Copies of this chain bind each other. A is one copy, B any other.
């Protein structure tokens, strides 16, 4: 079953203590799509400018990503420039230019309106609602958000939350949205605001899942080196939604497996700048790290019982 994602596609400039990249392919829809496509067909709704490079159209097309929902608009593509601290959990936005994304109000294609899986990536809640309103009867609606929308667009965000099956956000955003400093309280408070499942992303410390059924805590894959954390959250969401679409249903077991696949794909994307690692990734790479991840976190140790 296919997935529709609405979000940005743009060019990123990223500075870290270990290196930099400029004008590299980025944006939430890029990372999401390149992760989700391993699991299920994915259709991107986004806007790019006339400077969007042919090689990047090509990169998506070669990976069977549906681009019919991409508008090419006169003007420059979305740009973001970020700088990571030595502690890579912290970053500053040096500059941000929406460019052709400003004022983008997409009309979905008829088949996109019948999508079962929808991901509303980190864009304004109004735009998230605008896209969602066009989808007839989605099975799973997931969204991401950020501090900017929580602070400045709270009413629209609060209106969106009850319509979500799944909300992803990081620990700082969860504290901000809920007003609770303790993460467990924050997760539970956000559940009461509407989403069936809340996923708090804690970077190198993993993910906490809150839902009425059960809490789930999973560490991140331990990496010896992180080159560029950009896109990890969207990559996580892409693999998770991809897994849900691939299985065609949702229960606790399927959600947990999806969260692990999300963690696995996110652990790959940060190994290189931009989408480079995702673009080079194979299904075998994913399966190998998935199995290793299960062994890493297997606290009831069935695999080890025979030792």
A residues adjacent to B (C-beta < 8 A):
86, 181-185, 202, 205-206, 208, 214-220, 222-225, 251-253, 256-257, 259-260, 293-302, 304-305, 307
What are the residues of chain B within 8 A of A302 when measuring CB–CB? 300, 302
A299 to B252, CA, bound (A): 10
Copies of this protein chain in the complex:
2
Please determine whether A301 and B257 come into contact, CB atoms closer than 8 angstroms. yes
Please determine whether A253 and B304 come into contact, CB atoms closer than 8 angstroms. yes
Please determine whether A218 and B305 come into contact, CB atoms closer than 8 angstroms. no
Identify A224's interface contact among B184, B223, B225, CB under 8 A.
B184
A190 to chain B, nearest CB (A): 14
Q: Can you list 14 A-B contacts with CB-CB less than 8 angstroms, sorted by A residue number?
A: A182-B223, A184-B223, A205-B205, A217-B222, A217-B297, A219-B219, A252-B301, A252-B307, A253-B304, A253-B305, A256-B299, A260-B299, A294-B300, A302-B302
Please determine whether B215 and A296 come into contact, CB atoms closer than 8 angstroms. yes
A-B contact sample (13 more), CB < 8 A, given A215-B222, A215-B296, A217-B296: A86-B181, A182-B223, A184-B223, A205-B205, A205-B219, A206-B219, A214-B296, A252-B301, A253-B307, A260-B299, A293-B299, A297-B297, A298-B300
A86 to B181, CA, bound (A): 10
Question: Closest 4 A-B residue pairs measured CB to CB?
Answer: A253-B304, A217-B219, A253-B301, A205-B205
A91 to chain B, nearest CB (A): 17
Q: Which residue of B lies closest to A305 (CB)?
A: B253
Q: Which residue of B lies closest to A220 (CB)?
A: B217
A219 to chain B, nearest CB (A): 4
Interface centre among A218, A257, A294, A297 (most CB of B within 10 A): A297
What are the residues of chain B within 8 A of A297 when measuring CB–CB? 216-218, 297, 299
What are the residues of chain B within 8 A of A184 when measuring CB–CB? 222-224
A305 to B86, CA, bound (A): 42
A302 to B256, CA, bound (A): 11
A295 to B209, CA, bound (A): 13
